[in-house]
Chain A
């Protein structure tokens, strides 16, 4: 297996926390606090407008006595219930009081008391969440139960009962509202607090003897900063609405004192004779709530939501346009149209440059052929574009990623320029997919029987009973003994190996000619891996279908592949017959992979330590114009700074992308297990501060 030099972090945190997964050291948490997604706030026009409005409101209401044209109690009997006039810009109420003056006079109280709800609610919710996350399961269970009860209470009714007991003491009422709302905030924060508590640096701090309180304050709280601010903004909005609502039903500040809810209540009495009256106050209240929400939503936006596997209608339309453009462009001459032959020519895949995309290339100039009944292995580390290449064969690239050039010739037809509708005729029936995580590949909400029979009926046009018989037949074919029972189960009720067999049966249900297998054994344990591989080998032999096998396991390649294409940083760096490449590798990357593989070294000549490859696969945006492997290569020289073509390697029909391949072959050099000698290191500064990438799929 290929050693991952810098282990990629488990894909643990997708919840939109900016610091939980990436923070390498305790200090990072503090830095995160300082710069809590300021850019997200200011990149949203709504949030900027909201901040502006809130600032204006606060300043205007605090300075109200200095500039307001009227006192809140001034009654102008010459202009009762008037609309906007030069004297009363926003009109007057039933006693001739100036609405503009009353709105701004009431603002400070409304905003201030809503802040009480925010402080109590968010404060209590955060403390409870940190307590539950830090103090172990039992405490968490108790707190969670209590908050569950709090959330299932009719809050408004309880607040009214509280008002009955304490009177319309608004600060107290708003504080109790905060307590009631803390349950919801606790729920939001708990998950993130738990994930922060389980970070390695928190464990390290525990070992160092930092007190639980110290850990919570120093390591957990900073990571929660953004979520806390988001919740605060949203609760602020809710607090204002509820407070105004209470004033509306008569539980506001004592009578002459203006409040927004009370003013709207007054206006509702005059909806027949002075409908204008309800407009200004309601609009100001709505605008203020809208502002707080806009700020909260802008901050709370998940920075990198995973792309949907089914793009939205708008995205599909866009892709259809792109496909039409490719199809209209004068293409390269089609390859040989032999039935069941796949031939990928100069394929490029990239992130779309429209919308939020940055146009980064993920796969460039990839070519390979797959003859009927043969198995091609695509090998390389994570982040080399293997999965993208594989998914492009079915037109299943994730949203925002598409084929940007080259051809995918299947039976002589370019699948890269085929409409979604036409691809539906190819998928399942001609080209099928099995993926890495069998458990996640099956729909958890439906029985295996339903998923299998529905697919068979669709792809083979069979009736219900016939499809069921075929489902049983397929399950037996993939080595499941009690097929009838498995049909009745849900995916979560079977093991991973069993699920992968089901997934293979599902892939076979349309009798495909080509199977694209994206690391089909990676998630399985070793004995099951061997079984699945032997099943695939049997299927190839029995059905004559061909397979494109994505893997990072050279053992799998040796085991099942006829041909192999080694990929590095979006390119094929070497390809050819499996035997030729494993016995006589030409590209330094292939050499390195083999030197690093414990299984490739025989027991008698097993080196003292396995070789490693320094650094990591560069991010697509950092690919150099020259050899993309040069920065990590033991043999790199100045010639490697120029773009390198893919040339015949001299071993059979194999190709290699290395200017030094011949020299290395002649000199018989090996990839060394030691660190790179300084003399042989090329002056290309490797990026040290890389965020460790994960496979884009």
Chain B
């Protein structure tokens, strides 16, 4: 187990490093030098060169990367070319927004998805077909379109929820919840459908296992076979599916943040990519990767812990 955890940690580290290199190279392929981007149109070539010189833009790529990595490890991701603010500080203020969004959406997807999937597998018949059709529809609906419809229904027609904006938890927990409601539901629609499919398939596979027959042969009550034994067996792939979903939702928050004007990481990627703000793009890619890889690692370890075979070894 210790060996397994070490291996996974190393792999997570490698993943982040690979992405850091990738982000670095992508940022260098962006049109326009940092000087040109930060000074804007109409700046003199000398002024641009001066800024580039100061930022080390003309150093060899390897040197630049090592310098960046050195300060990144210490928590300094550089300074935005557009507004001169610290990228780390900016992302630190944005991370909670996206984290609450992604975590909330994952949680809601998991609850709804497992409920739907288990019901479909256990009840069978017409209900299974109905849930299957419903879930198939949800998978096909574009999240941003669903979001617009929700805005129309719940913010325009009835002002149950605020249409846009984000209220930090520290300001008002209740408003925080309300401001998250629509974006979280929007993201969870597709996520729940995905997890429902995964859950249904895993439950059916669990019920095909021969030990289910042994349980029936020893007069185990049906509820116990379903919700203790089969669900326990199905839990491994379901948790793996949830981990995968979190990755998707974390990325998907770009759309929700745009639609609901939430000041999160997604909005930062979107705006820094539009303005060619190299340090900001690089920083947000790395931070997003770190978060996703870390959560993934935790869920993967949880999966392994659920499996007696791996726990024992």
- Which chain A residues have a beta carbon within 8 Å of chain B's beta carbons? 46, 145, 148-149, 151-158, 160-167, 237, 241, 244-245, 248-251, 261, 264-265, 267-268, 271-272, 275, 278, 282, 285-287, 289-290, 293-294, 297, 305-315, 317, 394, 396, 424-425, 427-429, 432-433, 435, 437, 440-446, 454-455, 458-459, 490, 492-493, 503, 506-507, 509-510
Question: Which residue in A249, A275, A310, A446 is a CB contact (below 8 Å) of B254?
Answer: A249
Residues of A within 8 A of B239 (CB): none
Asked if A396 and B216 sit within 8 Å, CB to CB, the answer is: yes
Asked if A435 and B22 sit within 8 Å, CB to CB, the answer is: no
Residue of chain A at shortest CB distance from B157 = A275
Residues of A within 8 A of B140 (CB): 237, 286-287, 289-290, 293
Residues of A within 8 A of B248 (CB): 155
B30 in the interface, Cβ–Cβ < 8 Å?
A: yes
| CB-CB under 8 A for A156 and B233, given A310-B226, A427-B217, A459-B218 | no
- Which chain B residues have a beta carbon within 8 Å of chain A's beta carbons? 11-12, 14-15, 18-19, 22-23, 26-27, 29-31, 121-128, 136-137, 139-145, 147-149, 151-152, 156, 204, 207-222, 225-226, 229-230, 232-233, 244, 247-248, 250-252, 254-255, 258-259, 265-266, 269-270, 272-274, 276, 281, 284-285, 288-289, 291-293, 296, 308-309, 312
Residues of A within 8 A of B19 (CB): 153, 158
Asked if A157 and B144 sit within 8 Å, CB to CB, the answer is: no
Asked if B218 and A312 sit within 8 Å, CB to CB, the answer is: no
Asked if A148 and B156 sit within 8 Å, CB to CB, the answer is: no
Residue of chain B at shortest CB distance from A245 = B255
Asked if A249 and B145 sit within 8 Å, CB to CB, the answer is: no
Question: Which residue in A287, A433, A444 is a CB contact (below 8 Å) of B309?
Answer: A444
Whole-angstrom CA separation of A149 from B269 in the bound complex: 21
| CB-CB under 8 A for A267 and B148, given A161-B281, A492-B308 | yes
Asked if A285 and B145 sit within 8 Å, CB to CB, the answer is: yes
Residues of A within 8 A of B218 (CB): 427-428, 432, 455, 458-459, 506-507, 509-510
Residues of A within 8 A of B273 (CB): 160-161, 163-164, 251
The 8 A-B pairs with the shortest beta carbon distances in the complex, nearest first, are: A312-B124, A314-B125, A156-B251, A308-B207, A282-B145, A433-B217, A314-B124, A309-B212
CB pairs A–B below 8 angstroms (30 shown): A149-B14, A151-B247, A157-B289, A160-B270, A160-B273, A163-B273, A165-B26, A241-B142, A264-B144, A275-B152, A282-B148, A282-B149, A285-B145, A310-B216, A312-B121, A312-B122, A424-B221, A427-B218, A427-B219, A433-B213, A440-B210, A441-B210, A441-B214, A443-B215, A444-B308, A446-B229, A446-B232, A454-B220, A490-B308, A492-B308
Residues of B within 8 A of A155 (CB): 247-248, 251
Residue of chain A at shortest CB distance from B121 = A312
Whole-angstrom CA separation of A414 from B269 in the bound complex: 71
Whole-angstrom CA separation of A509 from B207 in the bound complex: 23
A628: shortest Cβ distance to chain B, in Å?
A: 28
Residue of chain B at shortest CB distance from A237 = B140
Asked if B15 and A153 sit within 8 Å, CB to CB, the answer is: yes
Asked if A275 and B156 sit within 8 Å, CB to CB, the answer is: yes
A470: shortest Cβ distance to chain B, in Å?
A: 14
Residues of A within 8 A of B229 (CB): 443, 445-446
Residues of B within 8 A of A165 (CB): 26-27, 29-30
Residues of A within 8 A of B226 (CB): 310
A289: shortest Cβ distance to chain B, in Å?
A: 4
| CB-CB under 8 A for A149 and B308, given A154-B247, A163-B273, A290-B137 | no
A88: shortest Cβ distance to chain B, in Å?
A: 21
Asked if A427 and B216 sit within 8 Å, CB to CB, the answer is: yes
Question: Which residue in B23, B141, B225 is a CB contact (below 8 Å) of A286?
Answer: B141
Residues of B within 8 A of A506 (CB): 214, 218
Residues of B within 8 A of A245 (CB): 142-144, 255
Asked if B151 and A268 sit within 8 Å, CB to CB, the answer is: yes
Asked if B148 and A441 sit within 8 Å, CB to CB, the answer is: no
Asked if A285 and B142 sit within 8 Å, CB to CB, the answer is: yes
B201: shortest Cβ distance to chain A, in Å?
A: 10
Asked if B251 and A249 sit within 8 Å, CB to CB, the answer is: no
Asked if A154 and B219 sit within 8 Å, CB to CB, the answer is: no
| CB-CB under 8 A for A310 and B222, given A268-B144, A435-B210 | yes
Residue of chain A at shortest CB distance from B250 = A154
Residue of chain A at shortest CB distance from B119 = A313
Residue of chain B at shortest CB distance from A162 = B26
Whole-angstrom CA separation of A440 from B206 in the bound complex: 12
Known: A157-B288, A314-B127. 20 other contacts (CB 8 A): A149-B18, A151-B247, A152-B15, A154-B288, A157-B251, A162-B26, A165-B30, A244-B144, A251-B273, A290-B136, A290-B140, A294-B136, A309-B208, A315-B125, A394-B217, A427-B217, A429-B219, A440-B210, A444-B308, A444-B309
Asked if B217 and A312 sit within 8 Å, CB to CB, the answer is: no
Residues of A within 8 A of B26 (CB): 161-162, 164-165
Residues of B within 8 A of A167 (CB): 31
Asked if A396 and B217 sit within 8 Å, CB to CB, the answer is: yes
| CB-CB under 8 A for A160 and B254, given A264-B142, A314-B124 | yes
Asked if B213 and A306 sit within 8 Å, CB to CB, the answer is: no
Asked if A271 and B288 sit within 8 Å, CB to CB, the answer is: no
Whole-angstrom CA separation of A278 from B252 in the bound complex: 20
Whole-angstrom CA separation of A55 from B148 in the bound complex: 29
A488: shortest Cβ distance to chain B, in Å?
A: 11
Most chain-A Cβ atoms within 10 A of its Cβ — which of B144, B272, B309?
B144
Residues of B within 8 A of A458 (CB): 218-220
Whole-angstrom CA separation of A401 from B124 in the bound complex: 16
